[in-house]
Structure 1
């Protein structure tokens, strides 16, 4: 017995993903959904696989990939098993770039926290006179710090 695959309308996919229908249509126009089927009348019939692909596309966008890079990824999906190694490499490279960015962001956050504390103390004291001596930025953040 063949089990029918559940399909979703673009409106349902919009609700599931939180994306406007126009964005989903745009993704289709960019060929981001290599397995998306359409009825003879051109109505898109989304499956869970398509929804998962949309979620991955959103992840890749948030991680900094360009639309062109995402198109290359979705072309690899369509190649099937021949592109498994390349797809894995894309995700490892993207992951490392994101980790590097997070490291830089943590350093930036640490500096911002320092300056927040600096100004909190200056306001509490009513002057920067004492805090500027006690909390020198160059001592807290030497140039060689990583």
Structure 2
């Protein structure tokens, strides 16, 4: 990190990512951060823009149901370097298939809910 690069305190990083400071500490403690979070001379965490972007991506993976163990596997592959690009791609492609299936299931469930709402409102769903 360069001296001129903008950094964020843990509370600022929490606000930027929508996560709690507890979750950010958890991500660091369990090895989910791509690189170690920098520390100020006071030992307070200083999150770089790259750290914030990485946490944003981790959040997306988690919000789509990727288990922590698989997230950790992905992180380890990224850390290993370019030789793991095919493995990372495969992990993400498999996860994408699962997310697409979940979306289809949710879409079908939403249609059933909409039908029932329309029924309770006394109209046909096609009106």
Structure 2 gaps of 5+ residues are none
With normalisation by structure 1, the TM-score equals: 0.73
Residues 1:82 and 2:46 are matched in the alignment: no
1:1-146 correspondence to structure 2 within 5 Å: 4-39=4-39, 42-121=43-122
Displacement of 1:58 after TM fit? 0.7
Over 6 Å off, 4+ runs: none
Secondary structure of 1:46's partner? strand
Output the aligned Cα RMSD: 2.3
What CA distance in whole angstroms lies between the structure 1 residues aligned with 2:3 and 2:42?
24
**CA contact under 8 A between 1:36 and 1:50: conserved in structure 2?**
no
Q: Considering Cα pairs closer than 8 Å and 6+ residues apart, tell me whether 1 or 2 has the greater RCO.
A: 2
SS of residue paired to 2:61: helix
CA 1:15–1:66 in 2, change beyond 3 Å: closer, same or farther? same
Task: Note the C-alpha offset of 1:42.
Answer: 4.1
Structure 2-normalised TM-score?
Answer: 0.82
For these two proteins, the number of residue pairs brought into alignment is 123
Q: Give the greater-gyration-radius structure (CA).
A: 1
1:25-44 Cα offsets, whole Å, 9 max, x none, are: 01000111131243376432
Match of 1:127 in 2: none
- CA distance, structure 1, for counterparts of residue 66 and residue 28 of structure 2: 17
Flag the 1:35–1:110 CA change in 2: closer, same or farther, 3 A.
Answer: same
SS in 1 for 2:98: helix
2: distance between equivalents of 1:110 and 1:102?
A: 12
